[in-house]
């Protein structure tokens, strides 16, 4: 497996030898001074070009990066799925190389600033001096943001409301539906809430990472272990217990944030939603009505 020096050397040399390429920079975790380093880090590389079309019409130029196991062209996938695309502004390849390295490669024109907006980039080569030489990459764009009262309310309301779908899915024993309702509905709100808790504890000067992947670094060990128990497999009983664990952790965290930082928490709504969840949990499989009367 080629190391970072070899890969960056090849990436820069590719830009240097191709007159169509005006600059190249690196995004992602390898440009983040605070990111953890490991062998699975991608090389998120962007080449600035005058025209993208010559690069995607004849993609043989990417062969120089090495043997490919498989790849994706995300813009083509988006087009096939009916999403708006503009190949003449940006075009990309996501490549798993045979030596173990992954290369996320894009060619963009000067009209596309998507890959520069977060400020976390390292310029590798700038032929026409288009970039500020004093620029230093920072992950501040990804720091946890302090929530407003409206955002806090929306998070809590979404969490408790989405449990309605989780409850009926569990009673019906519809495992695929439950996973969808749980891990795309309520559970992301728990992650959001825990990230806010971390943010308050660190003056909103930290990032919890994508999907809260760095939460373990900041949460107390007991809280982290409880959080892990909010994930379950396919057994209905295990899913019920994961949901109850999730609700307890959410309730405690929301109450603490509300009390400590002055947010209004709709306890009546939370209690009603949790009571309904527990009621459905105890509902017989042959029940004819959710509530009598």
CATH class of 143-281: mainly alpha
pLDDT tens for the chain, 293 residues long, are 999 999 999 999 999 999 999 999 999 999 988 888 899 999 999 999 999 999 999 999 999 999 999 999 999 999 999 999 999 999 999 999 999 999 999 999 988 788 888 888 999 999 999 998 888 888 889 999 999 999 999 999 999 999 999 999 999 999 999 999 999 999 999 999 999 999 999 999 999 999 999 999 999 999 999 999 999 999 999 999 999 999 999 999 999 999 999 999 999 999 999 999 999 999 999 999 999 87
Given CATH 3.30.460.10, say whether it is the number of domain 4-140.
yes
Cβ count within 10 A of residue 249: 18
pLDDT of 29-67, one tens digit each?
A: 999 888 888 999 999 999 999 999 999 999 999 999 999
pLDDT at position 111 is: 81
pLDDT at position 125 is: 96
pLDDT at position 279 is: 97
pLDDT at position 107 is: 97
Token code pair at residue 221 = 């060990």
pLDDT at position 114 is: 84
pLDDT at position 218 is: 96
pLDDT at position 35 is: 85
Can you count the helices (H) and strands (E) in the chain? Answer: 9, 6
pLDDT at position 249 is: 98
pLDDT at position 117 is: 86
pLDDT at position 292 is: 85
Q: Where in the chain is the domain with CATH 3.30.460.10?
A: 4-140
> Tokens 């994706």 sit at which residue?
72
Residues 127-132: contacts with CB under 8 Å, at least 24 apart: 127/15, 127/21, 127/22, 127/23, 128/22, 128/23, 130/22, 130/23, 130/48, 131/23, 131/25
| Structural element, H or E, at residue 97 | strand 90-97
| Structural element, H or E, at residue 188 | helix 187-201
Q: Where in the chain is the domain with CATH 1.20.120.330?
A: 143-281
**Contact yes or no for 116/56 (Cβ under 8 A):** no
């Amino acid at each position: 497996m080629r190391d970072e020096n070899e890969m960056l050397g090849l990436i820069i040399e590719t830009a240097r030898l191709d007159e169509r390429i005006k600059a190249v920079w690196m995004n992602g975790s390898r440009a983040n001074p605070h990111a953890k380093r490991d062998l699975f880090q991608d090389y998120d590389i962007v080449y600035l070009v005058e025209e993208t079309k010559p690069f995607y019409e004849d993609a043989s130029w990417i062969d120089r990066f090495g043997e490919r196991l498989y790849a994706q062209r995300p813009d083509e996938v988006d087009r096939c799925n009916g999403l708006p695309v503009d190949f003449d502004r940006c075009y990309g390849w996501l490549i798993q190389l045979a030596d173990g390295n992954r290369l996320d490669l894009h060619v963009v024109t000067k009209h596309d600033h998507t890959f520069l907006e977060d400020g976390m980039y390292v310029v590798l080569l700038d032929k026409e001096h288009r970039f500020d030489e004093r620029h230093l990459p920072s992950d501040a764009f990804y720091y946890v943001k302090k929530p407003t009262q409206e955002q806090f309310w929306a998070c809590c309301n979404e969490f408790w409301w989405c449990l309605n779908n989780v409850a009926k899915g569990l009673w019906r024993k519809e495992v695929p539906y439950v996973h969808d309702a749980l891990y795309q509905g309520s559970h992301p709100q728990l992650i959001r809430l825990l990230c806010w808790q971390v943010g308050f504890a660190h003056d909103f000067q930290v990032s919890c990472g994508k999907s809260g992947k760095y939460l373990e670094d900041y949460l107390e060990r007991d809280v982290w272990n409880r959080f892990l128990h909010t994930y379950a497999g396919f057994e209905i009983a295990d899913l019920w217990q994961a949901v109850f664990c999730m609700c307890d952790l959410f309730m405690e965290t929301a109450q603490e944030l509300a009390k400590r930082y002055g947010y209004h928490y709709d306890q009546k709504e939370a209690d009603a939603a949790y009571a309904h969840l527990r009621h459905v949990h105890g509902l017989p499989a042959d029940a004819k009505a959710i509530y009598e009367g």
